[in-house]
Amino acid sequence: MTAFGATELLADCGLIVAAGGSSSRFGHGNKLLMDLAGLPVFCHCLRAFLPLLPAGHAVLVVPAVSEPLFAAALAAAGWGERVRLVPGGASRQASVQAGLAALPAAATIVAVQDAARPLATAELLARCVASARACGSGVAAHRVVDTIKAATAEGAVTATPDRRALWAAETPQVFRRDWLAAAYELVARDGLEVTDDAQAVQLAGHPVQLVESQQDNLKITRAADLPLANFILAQRRAEANDVT
Ligand SMILES: Nc1ccn([C@@H]2O[C@H](COP(=O)(O)OP(=O)(O)OP(=O)(O)O)[C@@H](O)[C@H]2O)c(=O)n1
Ligand SMILES: C[C@](O)(CO)[C@H](O)COP(=O)(O)O
């Protein structure tokens, strides 16, 4: 039985956990090594996702200088043999490319997960994988509830007349491996910068299917995000206790 009660092992799926950033907006050291409800931030998505994956199908991409710290945290969690450590690059896209090269050939579906999104659930991953198997892509996202403005020299303009069409992308972002590999080869060849994997796949001409995220799938970016993530986890634990 897997983490969320399903019986299916995602045997064709490989996981790249992007943890190679510098936490500059966080401002208090490496945000991914900060404690969140008793685990380092980066360990939460691994705890949710590893039970769904075959051994050897998970890579963690980290800054080379911090590799010993991440290795120690993986060993403390008992995952030292389950997760392959890979040195990251100067950008998220470079880190993801490094992770992609380290996945076994059996991983024909690839999930990319921000280590900075500790609240992603196994259920969301499974839905994104199902979408990628069906149509090549499955990207976690939530509907935008604010009116989005674009700043211009003439003043702010509303990004689109129909706000209902706007979504905020999250992770996991899951794709056919051949699509993702070709997309990142294209952006590297053409010197393009992308801020998420879906943008690379879109630039390569493939359709990006959004998968609505049912829960707060917060990205730890600024220091204030950490207590908020703690609150959300506490709420989830309380709800789980209420149903048992
Ligand atoms: N060179 C990089 C940059 C980012 N990331 C990862 O991509 C995810 C999303 O990036 P972000 O939240 O922006 O993290 P940082 O780049 O560390 O943040 P900042 O921009 O504030 O420095 C994070 O899990 C981060 O570790 C990565 O693997 N390699
Ligand atoms: C991948 C991502 O989380 C999707 O919203 C986002 O683009 C990451 O941006 P960051 O600046 O690298 O955190």
Q: Write the residue with the smallest CA distance to atom 1 of ligand 2.
A: 196
Tell whether the model's pLDDT for residue 3 goes beyond 60: no
Specify the higher pLDDT residue, 162 or 86: 86
Q: At CA 22, angle to CA 118 and CA 126, rounded to 5?
A: 25
Residues 6 or more apart in contact with residue 96 via CB below 8 angstroms: 16, 18, 61, 112, 184, 197
Q: Write the residue with the smallest CA distance to atom 27 of ligand 1.
A: 20
Q: Of the residues 25, 96, 114, 216, which should be mutated to test ligand 2's pocket, given the most ligand atoms within 8 Å of the CB?
A: 114
What local confidence, expressed as pLDDT, does residue 242 receive? Answer: 85
Q: Evaluate the CA torsion angle 117, 191, 153, 145 in order and state its sign.
A: negative
Pairing relationship of beta strands 210-212 and 137-143 according to DSSP bridges: parallel
The ipTM, to two decimals, is: 0.98
Ligand 2 centre from 242 Cα, in Å?
34
Q: What is the CATH number of domain 3-225?
A: 3.90.550.10
Which residue type sits at 59?
V
Average pLDDT over residues 76-86: 97
Average pLDDT over residues 107-126: 98
Residues 6 or more apart in contact with residue 188 via CB below 8 angstroms: 93, 97
CA distances from 18 to 58, 130, 135, 156 (A): 11, 21, 24, 33
Q: Write the residue with the smallest CA distance to atom 11 of ligand 2.
A: 195
DSSP H stretches of helix in 121-224: 122-135, 177-189, 197-203
Give helix then strand counts, H and E, for the chain: 7, 11
What the block records as the tokens of 51 is: 């039970």
Q: Give the mean pLDDT of the chain.
A: 95
Tell whether the model's pLDDT for residue 78 goes beyond 70: yes
Confidence of residue 8 (pLDDT cuts 50, 70, 90): confident
> Could you report the per-residue pLDDT of 179-233, keeping only the tens digit for each?
999 999 999 999 999 999 999 999 999 999 999 997 699 999 999 999 999 999 9
CA distances from 236 to 18, 72, 226 (A): 25, 28, 15
Average pLDDT over residues 79-94: 97
Pocket of ligand 2 (CB under 6 A): 92, 114, 169-171, 195-196, 219
Ranges of each domain in the chain: 3-225
Q: What is the pTM of this model?
A: 0.96
